[in-house]
A = this chain, B = another copy of it.
Amino acid sequence: MREEDLIAGIDALVRGTSTRVLVGIGDDAAVWQPSRSHRSIITTDVLIENVHFSRGWMSLRDIGFRAMAANASDAAAMAARPVLATVALGIAEGTTPTDVLELYAGMQACAQPFGLAIAGGDLSRAPVMTIAITLVGEVRPSNLKLRSGARPGDILAVTGALGASRAGLAILRGACELEPALAAEALEAHARPRARVREGRFLGASRHVHAMMDCSDGLSTDLARLCAKSGVGAAIDEVPVAASAAAAARALGEDARAFALAGGEDFELLAAIDPRAFSHLAARFHAHIGRLLHRVGVVQADAALVVVNQGETQPLRSSGWDHFA
């Protein structure tokens, strides 16, 4: 059984218990209705030592920052404002209280600029460090963006260049070395990823944005998920590659676009946008946010996912991670 099938089985088991839950399993976050005029979202992530992170590679402060950023990014992908988070923490033998406070300092450093409060939690012993964060956010009902709204003809766009986090991971693994400035870009992207909350709320306010999600597992994998939810396909024709990712790909003898497409944890947002509104929206995005909204391709009615490179069309390979494969 693939992870996807298991999740479908879980969904079938739990679906329909409450009419207040408007979106259940399967999007970046679940959505419910605390009152008639409000929508709240909730998302959770579990990070396990030696599966998702290694303490030798990164400080506990960075591990905490990353963990909180991953959840804030899911809120951003729903166009929501992160409001509060809880942290369930499993602590391995030998972890000191100072270590735990370092981890929390990193989570708080990520959360504070968003006005996101760490409101509760639970501590336990565990065989390895285990970090389960749950985050609640709020969004105006009309601004909520799901994965399922993409339409044929929509422009696909991302909120930043891709692949820097993967380049950082390659450096930490000792797989390549980059010149100092590029190495710094890559390591910062990996250790202190920015959840695109402002970007998500900006895009959420536009009715021309039909679907949105965050790129946590790489554009190739995440685009496949968005397209599956929307019942469409897509053609990727441009890939904004981060400078450090291009350099890392070169050092590793890989194609830069393929490297960036498969790079996870960039946490840029992927949006499907009405083609008539794209130019105007991208200009406003740049003026308000100070960053580029990069076109990466177009949504197609045909369910296939392809990459177009110098006129040549190839299938887009998913680099997705399956815990049960």
Contacts and interface: CB of A to CB of B under 8 A. Distances in A.
B119 A32 contact: yes
A117 B40 CA distance: 14
Contacts of A48: 90, 124-127, 130
Contact of A86 (B17, B38, B90, B134): B134
The 3 A-B pairs with the shortest beta carbon distances in the complex, nearest first, are: A132-B132, A30-B119, A46-B88
Given A32-B83, A34-B35, A125-B323, A120 B42 contact: yes
B25 A97 contact: no
Contacts of A105: 13
B120 A46 contact: no
Of the listed residues A105, A107, A124, the one surrounded by the most CB atoms of chain B closer than 10 A to its CB is A124
Interface of A: 1, 3, 5-7, 9-10, 13-14, 17-18, 20-21, 24-25, 29-30, 32, 34-35, 37-38, 40, 42-48, 50-52, 83-84, 86-91, 97, 100-101, 104-105, 107-108, 111-112, 115-128, 130, 132, 134, 136, 138, 323-324
Contact of A97 (B6, B51, B121, B124): B6
A25 B88 contact: no
A108 B14 CA distance: 6
Contacts of A115: 17-18
A104 B14 contact: yes
A103 B209 CA distance: 38
A51 B126 contact: yes
Given A6-B97, A13-B108, A119 B51 contact: no
A46 B323 contact: no
Nearest to A120: B30
A323 B18 CA distance: 36
Contacts of A21: 84, 117, 119
B43 A10 contact: no
Number of identical protomers: 2
A123 B30 contact: no
Contact of A34 (B10, B40, B86): B40
A139 B18 CA distance: 17
Contact of A46 (B9, B45, B89): B89
A18 B117 contact: yes
B130 A46 contact: yes
Given A7-B123, A14-B104, A97-B5, A38 B44 contact: no
A6 B112 contact: no
Contacts of A25: 119-121
- Which of A9, A24, A45, A97 has the most chain B CB atoms closer than 10 A to its own CB? A97
A155 B37 CA distance: 41
Given A17-B112, A42-B134, A52-B124, 18 more contacts: A6-B123, A13-B101, A14-B108, A18-B115, A21-B84, A21-B119, A24-B117, A25-B121, A34-B40, A40-B40, A42-B119, A43-B86, A45-B88, A46-B88, A46-B90, A47-B124, A51-B124, A130-B132
